[in-house]
Structure 1
Amino acid sequence: MSSNNINERLLTSTISNNSDAGHLGFRQIYQQSRPLKRPAFIVNDMTKTFIDLNKSYIYVGDNSRFQQRITWILSFQWIFYSMLVMISPIMFQSPKFECDYYNQNTYVTCQEEGVCNIINSGKGKFRIIDKDQSIASEFDLYCDKAPLVSIAQSIIFAGYFVAGLVSSWCSDRFGRRKSFLISIIIGSIATIGIGFSSNINMVMGLTFLAGFGMNGYETIILVYCSEISERRFRDISVTVLQIMWALSQVLQPTISGLVEEWRLIYIFCIGLPLLLSVALSYRYFCESPRYLASRKRYYEAREVFRFISARNNRPPYEFHLYEEIDDYNSIVTQIQDKNNIQDPQEANTSYIRPQKVFQDELQRQTNFLDLVKSKKIIKITLVMCYFWFTRYFTYFSLLFSIRNFGDELQKNFQILAIIEVLSALVSIPLKLRLTRKKAIKHSMLMMIIFSFFSAVIEIPPECRYIGSFCIAKEAVILFAIILKFAIVFFTVILMTYTSEAFPTVLRSQGQGICMIVGSIGSSLAPLAQNLEIHPLYFTTILGFFGYLLTLSLDENQNMDDFIQENQQQQQKQDIPLQVINPNNNAPQ
């Protein structure tokens, strides 16, 4: 069949905005003068060779210059995204009070409980000494208004919930690149708007919008990282992002110490850097080849591979994709062995079974309902949703439990942040060495043990003051450190495993539903702090059932692009046979 079926003249190159066409001079001469790196494999005639997507990624280079540049840009953005989410305890920390119990104009440091007593009794006076340093201080979120703190901290995860629904649809409808660019623009502008809020309702509304935008960005980026290169890059890139997430937390106490006003932190330390980074993403990011191939936009997918190959200093990519073979030949013939023919009268007859390589079913738009149309996909979806709920609930339960470890809030916050950085670094060799299933199982076991010990040990009231020392407090902090390592290791494995588990045509929907369920866990984490039972007890229970679910996991070797069970079902449908008589070689 003629290659005109591809309609290359009607397709616009995905990388037209990302290439260096037209930029002549030293840079172009330098790039052309560099010796090309040897590809992973060589064929006699690339233009007549069809290879699959996995081989294409291997040829253009895995974890090379192009992928490394993508990783560094994402790392920069991830730092400020982490700051938006994780700085919440500092932004909403309780006001610092001074009380005059006897109306003698003699103020002494007091706790929120003393202030509430003054308000209820009408005797005495109090004042806030850090009015502009936190949202709770400026908008009087104490005593009767104290529950608004938990609600305001949870509202960002409500944005996560909605983003999981919308971002996956946009990702499939408009493409990965355009969708995450729109998401980060929404999130960064909303974050800047928080800094200009005039009341707590405005803060919560814009926080919801910031969570919506940035979680949509996270959902799509995790899919993008899994589709832009091969297995090694997927392992390293997600771990690097987790390191940046943790590194941001190490910097947060320092930033909040240098920039005391919370409004300036939201505007200049989070929102503006995120907004400015959009230019880098627009310049250097291209569309996902897997996404383009899943939409049968093969010419564009090949153009992206050519772009990546040039960026990685590999020989030009001139292959055709195996997925587009039906554009050159509408049918392929499968010769059936005569030994497999059940009718003995036809034992001397050879059969040729025409069948389409890729069914039209694979080109249609997918949605969330496709997650429940296959037993395999249903199992993957349910298990991954449970894991993501456990991951988010455990992570944020530990974050909001820091205040239970004593009054040294910023010190404990920074200790756990440093541990998170180290844990992410250690997880790189562990992730490359262990199988996905074994890594998830070990991390779940650690979460069970150390969340239980962190919850069961009580810190005496006299040990909560700054500078105090007691074995119980130090033991709880030690167990919390090990629990943090388990959560981080579980997270970096889960991020990669989830994207690998879903086929390309359902990957954004699968990641989106996991984010939706995860956002429920995030929203419940701050609210669980108000219960009489320690929230880490729930983590112990979640970890136990999660460990049992790991026994049913499969190892992810190669990523699927289509729903395999549906494809096999299509191939099993009855198709008329063409019979060739071996005696006269003429079809009957």
Structure 2
Amino acid sequence: MSAHENLLAPLEKFGSFQTRVVIVAYLTAIVAGPNIWMTVFVVYTPPHRCYIPELDDGNETSEVDYVVVPSNLSNSSVARYIPVVDGNLQKPEWSSCTRYNESTSAGQGNVSVVSCDRGWKYMTGENVITAVSEFDLVCDKSWLAPLVPSCLMFGLMAGSFLGGILADRFGRKKVLLGALVIMCASLSISAFTPSWIGLHVLTFFIGLGGVARTSILTILLSEITPNKIRYKVTVAHILLMAVGSCMLPLMAYLLPNWRHLYGAVGLLHFLVLFPSFIVFEESPRWLLENGKLDEARNLLQKIAKMNNVKLDEAKLLELGRDRETRVNLEAEKKQRGRRKLSYLDLVRVPFLRKRIIILSIAWLAVNVSYYGVSLNANNLGGNRYLTFFALVSVELPGHILSYFTIRKLGSRVAFMIFSSVCGVFILAVPLLQAVDDTAVIVSNVIGKLFATGTLSLLYAFTGELFPTVLRSQSYGVCSVVSRVSAVLVPFLLYLGMLPRNVLFAGNQITANAGYYGRCKIAKQIHHKS
């Protein structure tokens, strides 16, 4: 216990001061909940094909004919212009990146295809306008779509690394308010960005500000609340972020234009920004530990007055003017600095090295499952809004279930059960894709439930496996590894969705050699036309 610990008595009562801070903190958590998942709807790729003036100028193609290849191609006007290809499930689909070369003579035996040089036609029956359809991030530019959530993950990685460092250096309040401003500004500006480059850059800052807000606010809450309820307050903060995530599908449904969605979420951040500037105060513990004794004295007097707690005025006066107190404080900081260890200490000791390697692999695998299932919501079939709601709503029972399981069975057994069940249901997804969309969705939802529980377990016991002086370093290493895997997840999903029957060669997309043998009917329709 430090020499000034007895001066923090006002913080050991949950009074008016803590109530105000906690209420505003919880509001920011609910508002920030949608941030990490917004890219699911922003980079949604609607079904599309090449733009054909003869079909699309003033005419609306039937949605069924547009999405589903009819069994009798002679009844389809689309078949005269668009090839039929095998989709990811070996089901016939209209080609999304090629069209028949209109200069090809109908009497020739060969039918050549060319890329969509006139743009694309998107099936937006829901009046959906996404960044993909607006900026045409398809075909040769399709890799730019998964880069958006990857930029978000890069932002999360940078925020995880910089947030704690800046908060320790400049204080909790300044960095927290700065993170809120970054989120509010990035979201609002994104609604007006004229190019996909701006979207990618701003998405990075949304992630950076979001994770910095979460981590610093969690620290601040833990430093201003009594020990007996500290854990409950911080856990509720995380759970309310999940509640905010559940609002996103409804917002995306009501605001199908991605710019309107960004603007609405940015407005919500703007509304909580003002009370945040008014209510949030610096952590008295940080002020004391960094020698800002006059500021600490004034803040403690304010908190004591709000919480109706009596202070020892003599000690407060001594804190503000006694030089010996300052000298003792500096000596205490230097002593802590001598005891501080580095990340290298995690690999110097054999048993610690073994633990950090195993835990890093575990964090990597769990994050791939956690983010992979959620970011893949658009490709699971069914109503994508309801599917995503199901995937995010199971986070609440996932956290709660992991809490009770670890108390009953212990961390090791609980982790084995949760990770095993998660793996089984996620591995079952590709086997169920040819069976039924509902089975695929249910399997993903159960997998997400146990992935959330597994992630919660890792947060709970990772620090317990290391000495106190290396606890923060262990979390830091695992957090960086998990962010690296999260960055790769969108591209893993992208590779899984690439058409199996096309080859990409620069800007030209040509059909696979086996394509013509599978499309004889389409060729005949084209020749007869």
The secondary structure found in structure 2 opposite 1:127 is strand
Work out which of the residue numbers 265, 268, 275 in structure 1 matches 2:270: 275
Is 1:235 the counterpart of 2:227 in the alignment?
no
What corresponds to 2:387 in structure 1? 412
Between the aligned partners of 1:176 and 1:245, the Cα distance in structure 2 is: 20
Between the aligned partners of 1:385 and 1:193, the Cα distance in structure 2 is: 36
What corresponds to 1:525 in structure 2? 489
Shift of 1:365: 11
What amino acid maps onto 1:451 in structure 2? G
Q: Is the contact between residue 93 and residue 136 of structure 1 (CA under 8 Å) also seen in structure 2?
A: yes
Q: Is the contact between residue 37 and residue 375 of structure 2 (CA under 8 Å) also seen in structure 1?
A: no
Between the aligned partners of 1:487 and 1:129, the Cα distance in structure 2 is: 38
The secondary structure found in structure 2 opposite 1:529 is helix
What corresponds to 2:516 in structure 1? none
Between the aligned partners of 1:393 and 1:179, the Cα distance in structure 2 is: 29
Per-residue CA deviations over 1:224-243 (Å, capped at 9, x if unaligned) read 22322243433122222222
Between the aligned partners of 1:196 and 1:528, the Cα distance in structure 2 is: 29
What corresponds to 1:550 in structure 2? none
Change (3 A) 1:373 1:462: closer
Is 1:249 the counterpart of 2:249 in the alignment?
no
Between the aligned partners of 2:327 and 2:205, the Cα distance in structure 1 is: 49
What corresponds to 1:169 in structure 2? 165
The secondary structure found in structure 2 opposite 1:434 is helix
Q: Is the contact between residue 24 and residue 276 of structure 2 (CA under 8 Å) also seen in structure 1?
A: yes
Shift of 1:300: 3.6
What amino acid maps onto 2:122 in structure 1? I
Per-residue CA deviations over 1:513-556 (Å, capped at 9, x if unaligned) read 655443223212222324569xxxxxxxxxxxxxxxxxxxxxxx
Q: Is the contact between residue 339 and residue 469 of structure 2 (CA under 8 Å) also seen in structure 1?
A: no
Shift of 1:142: 1.9
Q: Is the contact between residue 170 and residue 179 of structure 1 (CA under 8 Å) also seen in structure 2?
A: yes
Between the aligned partners of 1:275 and 1:106, the Cα distance in structure 2 is: 40
Structure 1, unmatched stretches of 5+, are 1-48, 333-355, 534-588
Work out which of the residue numbers 128, 133, 148 in structure 2 matches 1:137: 133
Is 1:483 the counterpart of 2:489 in the alignment?
no
What corresponds to 2:96 in structure 1? 116
What amino acid maps onto 1:450 in structure 2? C
Q: Is the contact between residue 331 and residue 357 of structure 1 (CA under 8 Å) also seen in structure 2?
A: yes
Between the aligned partners of 1:63 and 1:496, the Cα distance in structure 2 is: 27
Between the aligned partners of 1:396 and 1:136, the Cα distance in structure 2 is: 20
What corresponds to 2:40 in structure 1? 89
Per-residue CA deviations over 1:9-42 (Å, capped at 9, x if unaligned) read xxxxxxxxxxxxxxxxxxxxxxxxxxxxxxxxxx
Is 1:399 the counterpart of 2:399 in the alignment?
no
Change (3 A) 1:72 1:498: farther
Change (3 A) 1:97 1:146: same
Between the aligned partners of 1:214 and 1:67, the Cα distance in structure 2 is: 22
Structure 2, unmatched stretches of 5+, are 68-86, 88-92, 101-112, 498-529
Change (3 A) 1:302 1:464: farther
Is 1:127 the counterpart of 2:121 in the alignment?
yes
Q: Is the contact between residue 163 and residue 212 of structure 1 (CA under 8 Å) also seen in structure 2?
A: yes
Is 1:309 the counterpart of 2:263 in the alignment?
no
Work out which of the residue numbers 444, 455, 459 in structure 1 matches 2:427: 455
Q: Is the contact between residue 243 and residue 393 of structure 2 (CA under 8 Å) also seen in structure 1?
A: yes
Q: Is the contact between residue 223 and residue 283 of structure 2 (CA under 8 Å) also seen in structure 1?
A: yes
Between the aligned partners of 1:386 and 1:324, the Cα distance in structure 2 is: 48
Count of residue pairs the alignment pairs up = 446
**Over the residues paired in the alignment, what is the CA RMSD in angstroms?**
4.5
1:419-438 maps to which residues of 2 (within 5 A)? 419-424=394-399, 430=404, 434=407, 438=410
**Higher relative contact order structure (alpha carbons within 8 Å, sequence separation ≥ 6):** 2
Between the aligned partners of 2:162 and 2:338, the Cα distance in structure 1 is: 15
Change (3 A) 1:221 1:388: farther
Between the aligned partners of 2:399 and 2:279, the Cα distance in structure 1 is: 26
What corresponds to 1:566 in structure 2? none
Shift of 1:57: 5.5
Structure 1-normalised TM-score? 0.63
Q: Is the contact between residue 24 and residue 275 of structure 2 (CA under 8 Å) also seen in structure 1?
A: yes
Shift of 1:426: 5.9
Structure 2-normalised TM-score? 0.70
What corresponds to 1:293 in structure 2? 288
Shift of 1:78: 1.8
Q: Is the contact between residue 50 and residue 96 of structure 2 (CA under 8 Å) also seen in structure 1?
A: no
1:251-266 maps to which residues of 2 (within 5 A)? 251-266=247-262
Between the aligned partners of 1:236 and 1:65, the Cα distance in structure 2 is: 18
What corresponds to 2:24 in structure 1? 73
The secondary structure found in structure 1 opposite 2:225 is coil
Between the aligned partners of 2:326 and 2:250, the Cα distance in structure 1 is: 63
Change (3 A) 1:56 1:519: farther
1:42-57 maps to which residues of 2 (within 5 A)? 53=5
